[in-house]
Structure 1
Amino acid sequence: MERTLNKTDIDEATANMNINGGVEDMYGEDMGSQDQPITPWTVSVASGHVLMRDPRHNKGIAFTDTERDAHYLRGLLPPATFSQDLQEKRFMHMIRQYDVPLHKYISMMDLQERNERLFYKILIDHVEELLPIVYTPVVGEACQKYSNIYRRPQGLYITLKEKGRILEVLKNWPERSVQVIVVTDGERILGLGDLGCQGMGIPVGKLALYTALGGVRPSACLPITIDVGTNNKKLLEDEFYIGLRHNRATGKEYAELLDEFMTAVKQNYGEKILIQFEDFANHNAFDLLTKYRASHLVFNDDIQGTASVVLSGLVASLKLIGGTLADQTFLFLGAGEAGTGIAELIALEMSKQTNDPVEQCRKRVWLVDSKGLIVESRKDSLQHFKQPWAHDHEPVRELLDAVNAIKPTVLIGTSGVGRQFTKEVVEAMSSFNEKPVILALSNPTSQSECTAEEAYTWSEGRAIFASGSPFDPVEYNGKVFTPGQANNAYIFPGFGLGIIMSGTIRVHDDLLLAASEALASQVTEENFDNGLIYPPFTNIRKISAHIAAKVAEKAYELGLASRLPRPRDLFKFAESCMYNPVYRNYL
């Protein structure tokens, strides 16, 4: 059943509008990050069985007796009435009894599909415990097994079958005021390779964090998987595989599908739709970002988000190792989209601080790929995105030899290959650095270049360590070390909120630098005392608001922001825009 709103309802909805952007519709949906005003006369309220099956508005047994009478729920629920806090306590009691992390992931996804507000409240309140479940590392296993655990479609699947009809497919999505899309083609999921259609777990997980950590409304988020096939033979032979059963389309066929997609998205959602590319293979990731960054609001989290969060950690680490960014020497294991993206942002920040040309700053940064140190003599055979990092040096094949030759102060792993930071490598770093900075960034945990315990033990407790996936605290010689996590979730939710709330129309590198500086400023003396170069996730919503404010401030400064007039206090405005998952009254 549905109840049409009367004049009193309409007046109340209109009164809920806030000139600063904080708006709630009649369902209690936060609309603070939405530009367009609501039209209350078009709103209707679902009742009865329909209301209980709608995850955005369902409250389960938290519906009060009055609400049960008003919305035809009497008899459809057990007689008990729980508060949202008690529902949260009950769910956490249940999920903590699971021993298998994937079972926890499935339980969380089931909750998201039946009670959206409870899902986000639980994720926000228990972010440090649940972030590894809904994001890395467990989401990696979920993607590997996605066909087997698939229950209900989340997001849109766009395939080669829809070529010529992508705009029509986008219009099938029920939400009209979408503000951010996370899209993947599944070719390079974390460090796990080509998972084809099963990569959908990544956009779904990323957007859950856009809401939980950055406060972007759930209804403004759209996960999309573009399925052009897979080269994963195991998946193609799996009778339960849910994607297209042929090898990946490439070349002109692939480019035309992506071009139609980008055009259709802009046509359907407008100029200010943020499109986040996620887990595309190197050969497509750089080309797509280069091709569309001038015409669309695009952001590649693997290239730009990773770079921003790592740069933040490096800026913060200077408090522990001393000196400036330009005083450091950086060595990367891995020269793909993450490695070269981080390297370029480091060089840009160095250039900004010293006023030296970027080309000169790049000479402080060295990269090792599968063929060894990237040097000038290899330049003609290198992919275009590696060429700026080919410096004058004799060829070096092995990482250990490169470490001994370059003598870096900072060692960064983005290879996607586990256990490459061996005991010999860490000991070498420790031999010429009092406090070697070692960042083992590859995901998931199994692909990390070394563990936290190895880094601390082999460096005799002197390493400043952070990883891509979480590690437990380590005790060494009576001291407990808490490893940091260089997690993109620090950056992209707040970055996206800043883009949305300011109406920014293009992503500029200076916005990424602003996000890095904002995150680094949130590391406290207490964090430094524990060897941390990132703040704890417990305060992530406030951290995201700070990042959003700084990103928006830089966007206004560069003339990229279209929301006018500019709010007087961008931090308070960011907080006012954030989605609040607390239940609303339906009376």
Structure 2
Amino acid sequence: MESTLKEMRDGESVLDLNPKCTVGGGVEDVYGEDRATEDQLVTPWSVSVASGYNMLRDPRHNKGLAFTEKERDAHYLRGLLPPAIVSQELQEKKLMESIRQYDVPLHKYMAMMELEERNERLFYKLLIDNVEELLPVVYTPTVGEACQKYGSIFKRPQGVYISLKEKGRILEVLKNWPERSIQVIVVTDGERILGLGDLGCQGMGIPVGKLSLYTALGGVRPSACLPITIDVGTNNEQLLKDEFYIGLRQKRATGKEYDNFLHEFMTAVKQNYGEKVLVQFEDFANHHAFELLARYGTSHLVFNDDIQGTASVVLAGLVASLKLLGGTLADHTFLFLGAGEAGTGIAELIALEMSKQKKISVGEARKKIWLVDSKGLIVVSRKESLQQFKKPWAHEHEPVNNLLDAVKSECTAEEAYTWTEGRALFSSGSPFEPVEYKGKLFIPGQANNAYIFPGLGFGLVMSGAIRVHDEMLLAASEGLASQVTKEHFAKGMIYPPLSNIRKISANVAARVAATAYELGVATRLPRPADLVKFAESCMYTPNYRTYR
């Protein structure tokens, strides 16, 4: 097969195929086409090409009407596009106007996914420039509905699906993915997708969404990201009966079968991509999430956003709040409604920060933190029946059956500002609209994990870290808190605006990388003199490249 290697300005190389070349068992006709007779089998094959019609079908290189006259001639595009030449900025304006026409969020989600499939750089350009508007579209809350309906809206596979059918062959399956230089993997088994429960194979929307944020907000190259779904079955009866369900139609594997399958996966990942690939566990059930983090934390570069990312972003809000309130974390007592991955993860990181600030043991710091689960306050008298990850939070106290008996807390942002006469610093997981109180505008904070995980992951990648340590999570929190200015505090904000997220992520990445170097787990040497500038210079940018 004749081919010419064409170098592109952004460092990517693609093949320019001789259009008369044929492959397979067919018979070549006068037009150079490969035709198979009825008794012949033709092996399907595909390559990446740098010219012609196929270039327009390659989302990584397609620019649509932005191809210049020179590029249209050089890459055999003449006549394959309308004559108009449109800038990337005008394309962005047109698409944003189109997306805003949709009333249904899921339709906006589908429009964005279709854009990613045909023009990768334009997709990320839109997402970066309109992050506050599009973040709820490509991720929570809309991605939850997309996962529920994934079988119905499924069009083009994204990422790698590894089911029990591939037991003993996971390394072989990973090698089917075309990219070799993978830096970040987000993997789910679909058992606890957001607050929606077991969605099985349809949970793939979560890794896909998370990795789009790794690129848009954190600057990791799209080609270095790999979404993976581990399909071990589902206990969702509705999905098992759904004719459009795309996963295995069987109950979930458990016990040794599950553990061995996950171990094969983690071993294959390290063997195929090396020790520096970050594996982010996403939306696993509580019992698996904690076990996987504990089991592989000492042998792999692993991170759980539900446990560690949520904890880090909440701690950042608390650290920022102390700049206004004064004092230290240890001056306060904390009560949590919920003792799952998020609750215990946040509690543990707060205890670690208290321990660091006050020079006390983590065990002593935990005594300032109380958790309430579905059975009430977690106390010593319940210790024998508690799951392992809850036991450190069992303190001496008489049993309390519910949260209301412990303290009354739930409220809206408006109620918080009104009841405290404007003194409250308010933040929640869900977004609230700005509130005007006595002529002053207050902007409620959203404790969104997107503030932390893209920068954290990028910091690990750019330093070549081989392990994740708690000190890195504290550094990420402090890096985020440092981005909150006096102007933000004046509006009642304890998080900086998401519109500055690329700058925020660069600072978070720099703090994380600095900690990696200090702990001796960074492998990219020598250490850059200015880690913030280095982070900014390494970030992927979605502007169109000029093709020679």
Letter in 1 for 2:243: E
Q: Does 1:212 align with 2:216?
A: yes
Letter in 2 for 1:279: D
**Alignment partner of 2:253 out of 249, 252, 258:** 249
Aligned to 2:263: 259
Q: Distance in 2 between matches of 1:520 and 1:82?
A: 41
Aligned to 1:173: 177
> How far does the alpha carbon of each residue in 1:93-124 deviate from its partner, in whole angstroms, 9 at most, with x for none?
10111111111111111101110000001100
Cα 1:302–1:263 change in 2 (3 A) is: same
Q: Does 1:240 align with 2:244?
A: yes
Aligned to 1:117: 121
Q: Tell me if structure 2 keeps the 8 A contact 1:2–1:47.
A: no
Q: Does 1:362 align with 2:334?
A: no
Aligned to 1:503: 464
Q: Distance in 1 between matches of 2:488 and 2:438?
A: 20
> How far does the alpha carbon of each residue in 1:76-107 deviate from its partner, in whole angstroms, 9 at most, with x for none?
11111100000000000101111111111111
Q: Distance in 1 between matches of 2:417 and 2:206?
A: 31
Q: Tell me if structure 2 keeps the 8 A contact 1:452–1:474.
A: yes
> How far does the alpha carbon of each residue in 1:286-322 deviate from its partner, in whole angstroms, 9 at most, with x for none?
0000000001110011111111111000101112332
Deviation of 1:149 (Å): 1.2
Q: Does 1:576 align with 2:540?
A: no
Cα 1:234–1:463 change in 2 (3 A) is: farther
Q: Does 1:282 align with 2:286?
A: yes
Q: Distance in 2 between matches of 1:518 and 1:365?
A: 24
Q: Distance in 1 between matches of 2:189 and 2:48?
A: 37
**Alignment partner of 2:490 out of 529, 534, 547:** 529
Q: Does 1:467 align with 2:428?
A: yes
Identity over aligned pairs, percent: 78
Q: Tell me if structure 1 keeps the 8 A contact 2:5–2:13.
A: no
Aligned to 2:42: none
Q: Tell me if structure 2 keeps the 8 A contact 1:136–1:469.
A: no
Structure 2: gaps of 5 or more residues: 15-46
Deviation of 1:481 (Å): 2.2
Aligned to 1:310: 314
| Secondary structure at the counterpart of residue 5 of structure 1 | strand
**Alignment partner of 1:130 out of 125, 134, 137:** 134
Q: Tell me if structure 2 keeps the 8 A contact 1:335–1:368.
A: yes
Q: Tell me if structure 2 keeps the 8 A contact 1:4–1:45.
A: no
Counterparts of residues 449-468 of structure 1 (less than 5 Å): 451-457=412-418, 459=420, 461-468=422-429
Q: Tell me if structure 2 keeps the 8 A contact 1:3–1:46.
A: no
Aligned to 1:99: 103
**Alignment partner of 1:388 out of 383, 386, 392:** 392
**Alignment partner of 1:139 out of 140, 143, 148:** 143
Letter in 2 for 1:5: L
| Secondary structure at the counterpart of residue 543 of structure 2 | coil
Q: Distance in 1 between matches of 2:212 and 2:272?
A: 23
Q: Distance in 1 between matches of 2:404 and 2:425?
A: 19
Aligned to 2:76: 72
Deviation of 1:45 (Å): 5.2
| Secondary structure at the counterpart of residue 299 of structure 1 | strand
Q: Tell me if structure 2 keeps the 8 A contact 1:3–1:44.
A: no
Please identify, of 286-295 and 135-144, the stretch whose mean Cα deviation from structure 2 is larger.
135-144
> How far does the alpha carbon of each residue in 1:60-84 deviate from its partner, in whole angstroms, 9 at most, with x for none?
1111111111111111111111000
Aligned to 2:5: 5
Aligned to 2:22: none
Q: Does 1:557 align with 2:544?
A: no
Cα 1:282–1:273 change in 2 (3 A) is: same
| Secondary structure at the counterpart of residue 46 of structure 1 | coil
Q: Tell me if structure 1 keeps the 8 A contact 2:188–2:229.
A: yes
What is the aligned-residue RMSD (CA, Å)? 1.7
Aligned to 1:25: 12
Deviation of 1:151 (Å): 1.2
Cα 1:255–1:65 change in 2 (3 A) is: same
Deviation of 1:467 (Å): 1.7
Deviation of 1:474 (Å): 2.6
Deviation of 1:24 (Å): 3.2
Letter in 2 for 1:304: Q
Q: How many aligned residue pairs are there?
A: 516
Deviation of 1:454 (Å): 4.5
Q: Distance in 2 between matches of 1:312 and 1:569?
A: 23
Q: Distance in 2 between matches of 1:145 and 1:473?
A: 32
Q: Tell me if structure 1 keeps the 8 A contact 2:121–2:542.
A: yes
Aligned to 2:445: 484
Q: Distance in 2 between matches of 1:470 and 1:206?
A: 19
Q: Distance in 2 between matches of 1:277 and 1:557?
A: 26
TM-score (norm 1): 0.86
Q: Distance in 2 between matches of 1:5 and 1:359?
A: 61
**Alignment partner of 1:202 out of 199, 206, 218:** 206
Aligned to 1:327: 331
Deviation of 1:510 (Å): 0.3
Cα 1:198–1:456 change in 2 (3 A) is: farther
Q: Tell me if structure 2 keeps the 8 A contact 1:308–1:342.
A: yes
Counterparts of residues 413-424 of structure 1 (less than 5 Å): none
Deviation of 1:25 (Å): 3.0
Q: Distance in 2 between matches of 1:164 and 1:460?
A: 63
**Alignment partner of 2:235 out of 231, 234, 249:** 231
Deviation of 1:576 (Å): 1.0
Letter in 1 for 2:293: L
Cα 1:476–1:232 change in 2 (3 A) is: farther
Structure ID, larger Rg: 2
| Secondary structure at the counterpart of residue 65 of structure 2 | helix
Letter in 2 for 1:207: L
Q: Distance in 1 between matches of 2:152 and 2:526?
A: 50
Q: Does 1:59 align with 2:63?
A: yes
Q: Distance in 1 between matches of 2:368 and 2:534?
A: 39
Cα 1:243–1:457 change in 2 (3 A) is: farther
Deviation of 1:142 (Å): 1.1
Q: Distance in 1 between matches of 2:225 and 2:174?
A: 13
Q: Tell me if structure 1 keeps the 8 A contact 2:186–2:281.
A: yes
Letter in 2 for 1:545: A
Q: Tell me if structure 1 keeps the 8 A contact 2:484–2:494.
A: yes
Aligned to 2:190: 186
Q: Tell me if structure 2 keeps the 8 A contact 1:3–1:47.
A: no
Q: Distance in 1 between matches of 2:118 and 2:430?
A: 29
Q: Distance in 1 between matches of 2:141 and 2:485?
A: 27
Counterparts of residues 344-363 of structure 1 (less than 5 Å): 344-363=348-367
Whose relative contact order is higher, 1 or 2, with alpha carbons under 8 Å and at least 6 apart?
Answer: 1
| Secondary structure at the counterpart of residue 383 of structure 2 | helix
